[in-house]
Structures are given as C-alpha cells and as structure tokens.
Structure 1
Amino acid sequence: MSEKIRQLLDQINALEDELRTAVHEQQSTIFFQINGKKIEFEQSIKQTHRRLKKNFFRWLVTNRPQNLITGPIIYSMIVPLLILDLFVSLYQASCFPIYRIAKVRRGDYIVLDRQHLGYLNFIEKFHCTYCAYASGLIGYISEIIARTEQYFCPIKHARKILGTHARYAQFLEFGEADDYEAKLNEFRQRLEK
C-alpha cells in the first residue's frame, strides 16, 4: 500500500473517531445525561415520552399483521445467535491469549439501553433489546474475526468486496509479496495493543 493511501486512511479513521465523539457529546448534552449505568432525561422529556407511549392493546390493534405473524420466525433466531455467541466467546477466551491478541470488549458492541426510553411499551422494549443484542453481537463477532484475519491473513482480496471491516483497508494488497513475513509480523504486533 502506498504511503499516500496509508496517510489518507489514517486521516479517515481519525475523522471518524472525532465525528463519533462529537455526535455522542451533542446527543448526551441535549437529550439525556449518563450517570454510571443510569440514563436520566429531563423531566419535560420524560413527560413527553409518557404522553407518546402507546399502551399494549392500542399497539396490538394498530400493529401491522405481518409483524405479528413473522414474530416467531424472527425470535427463533435467538437460538443460533446464543450458540454463536457462546462459541465465538469461547474461541476468543481460549485462543486470543495464545496469539497475544488484545481481547474484544463485549460491552463496546452489545449495548442494552433502550429500556430507558419512556415512549416505548414493554413489547417495543423487548423488540429493541433483541435487536440491540443481535446487531451488537454481529459487530462483536465481526471484530473478533477481523482481529483473527489480521493475525493469520491480512491480505486484501483480488475482487472488490462489500461490507469490509475497519481493519481491512490497512491489509496488504493482493499479490504484495515483498517482505510478506516481516509485514505479517508487524500486523501481529499491532494486535497486542
């Protein structure tokens, strides 16, 4: 990878981090405050949330029928998700120390905080908890796999692929064979931090 591309990627990563921080600061100062694990809204926001909340029966009557019909199919996915979670977590716990790869923090990806939203009824909160777990789990697993790929084979594909992880842009170009072993060792050392 050329030095120019590496510099641009570093700038993009720095800007993405800065944007995430700015968005988070703006959201938390306008709508809510986080005190430890507790999320607190201003009293006026709490009142607005309560007023907008649909009770269960009104929600059930106004909900789209296809959502109710497909619900069991959607929620049956919890079984493979839990099994995948268990196996990937065991893999990380057993193999990452051997490879000296820094472990992925589960709490950075699986965030269950939507139960603090007063405008959601208990069914909607259940939906949000399921989705937050599932999408967070996929992000958690993706980072574990990305670190594994960086350790064993940090090489880009010959063909363009969609949905690459953040580490992929730094990988070696397809066919870049010069000093491969030395570069592989550098990739592995970066994982220890």
Structure 2
Amino acid sequence: MNRIDELLGKIDGLEKELRVELRDVTNDFLYTVQEKKVRFSSEVRAAHREFAAKWSDYVYDSGVWVILTIPFIWMPIVPALMLDVSVWLYQLMCFPVYGIPRVKRRNYIVLDRHSLKYLNYIEKVNCFYCSYFNGLIGFVREVAARTEQYWCPIRHARPVKSVHSRYRHFFPYGDAEGYRKGLSRVRQEFDDV
C-alpha cells in the first residue's frame, strides 16, 4: 500500500468516525430519532418556540438586497429536479447491468429540519431547499463515483480539491499494467457499500 492509499484509508475511517459522532450528538440536544422521525420532549419543543422569529421580522431584517436574490437562489430547482429524475432512472436501468450496487437516495437527501420549532415558515422552506439540493449533489456524486469506478478507475495526474468515496479503489495515473490486470477486479469492488 502506498502513501496515497494509506491517506485515503484514514480519510474513510475519519468519515465513519464523524458519522458516529454526529449520531451521538442527539443526547446533547435532547432528541431521539425513531423510525426516521425526530422526537423532542414537550419541554424542549416549548423552549424552541420561544426562539422562533416572526416571519415578517425575518423578512424585514434580511434587507432589500437579500430579498432581490431570491429568484436566483430558486432558479436551479427545475434543473435539480430534472437531474434527480435522470440520475434515478440512470442507476435504475444501468447499475444492474454493470453489477454496481444502487445508491440509496434516502441516505443523501435527508429532510428533517421542518421538525425544528425555532424555525419560522420561511426558514423551514429555505432549510428544505438547502437540504434537498445538497443531498441531491451528494447522491449524484456517489452515483457518478460508482460509475467512474466501473468505467474509468484511474486517479488524476494533478491533485483534485476533493476526492469522492470510490477514489481509493482507483489505479495510479500511468499504471498501464495495473489497470489492464486489475480492471475487472476493481469493477467488482463494492463490498464496502
């Protein structure tokens, strides 16, 4: 194992550790997750309502320039929905043919912030949009990563800003022999998903 593989393995381990820590934070803020539903005690819900801002104050405090940006924020929703449907159909039709395990959309698109009583209606809509859009990007990235692992599992020559979850399975740039000898093996290395 070379240094790059070692570092990618550490990153993977740290990401798993982070997910555990994020799950454990539930105790600090007195909520539980039961059957994918967030549950707060009645006392916590009442305390949260005390922190809710009136939507009219929220809009007023935002200012004119922020309000004028709203159409630009919401413009990508139509292409995002089209991307969502396209990627869902793509993996539904192609992944079984390639033998790639399907990506569970629900693991990436998590819509739970509407349960927070300290958010007003506008904040909840904004949180819904951001959760959907960022979750969608994560979902699409994972589908693309698994596709890349199947079709072109070669690392880049130049460093990339952020590597996806499958990158550690890729061949070093320029390793022609390793690529030819190991491509069929790498195309099936999905035991970790």
Q: Could you state the TM-score of these two structures normalised by the residue count of structure 2? A: 0.91
CA contact (8 A) 2:113 2:127 kept: yes
- Do structure 1's residue 165 and structure 2's residue 153 form an aligned pair? no
- Distance apart, 1:63 and its partner CA: 1.5
- Tell me the equivalent position of 2:76: 77
RMSD value over aligned CA atoms? 1.7
CA contact (8 A) 2:108 2:138 kept: yes
- Distance apart, 1:20 and its partner CA: 1.7
Return the alpha-carbon distance in structure 2 between the equivalents of residues 68 and 5 of structure 1. Answer: 46
- Do structure 1's residue 146 and structure 2's residue 122 form an aligned pair? no
Amino acid corresponding to residue 190 of structure 1 in structure 2:
E
Q: What residue ranges of structure 2 are gaps of 5+ in the alignment? A: none
Return the alpha-carbon distance in structure 2 between the equivalents of residues 15 and 37 of structure 1. Answer: 24
Return the alpha-carbon distance in structure 1 between the equivalents of residues 72 and 14 of structure 2. Answer: 40
* Number of residues of Structure 1 aligned to a counterpart in Structure 2: 191
CA contact (8 A) 2:149 2:169 kept: no
- Do structure 1's residue 49 and structure 2's residue 83 form an aligned pair? no
Between the aligned residues of both structures, percent identity stands at 41
Structure 1 segment 14-29 matched on structure 2, within 5 A: 14-25=13-24, 27-29=25-27
- Tell me the equivalent position of 1:104: 103
Q: Secondary structure at the match of 2:177?
A: coil
Q: Could you state the TM-score of these two structures normalised by the residue count of structure 1? A: 0.91
- Distance apart, 1:64 and its partner CA: 2.7
Return the alpha-carbon distance in structure 2 between the equivalents of residues 91 and 100 of structure 1. Answer: 13
- Distance apart, 1:8 and its partner CA: 4.4
Runs of 4+ in 1 over 4 A off after TM superposition: none
Cα distance change of structure 1 residues 4 and 149 upon mapping to structure 2, 3 Å threshold = same
Q: Secondary structure at the match of 1:39?
A: strand
- Do structure 1's residue 13 and structure 2's residue 12 form an aligned pair? yes
- Do structure 1's residue 181 and structure 2's residue 180 form an aligned pair? yes
Amino acid corresponding to residue 101 of structure 1 in structure 2:
I
Cα distance change of structure 1 residues 159 and 5 upon mapping to structure 2, 3 Å threshold = closer
Tell me whether 8-17 or 67-76 shows the greater mean CA deviation. 8-17
Q: What residue ranges of structure 1 are gaps of 5+ in the alignment? A: none
Cα distance change of structure 1 residues 61 and 184 upon mapping to structure 2, 3 Å threshold = same
Return the alpha-carbon distance in structure 1 between the equivalents of residues 181 and 157 of structure 2. Answer: 21
- Distance apart, 1:43 and its partner CA: 3.0
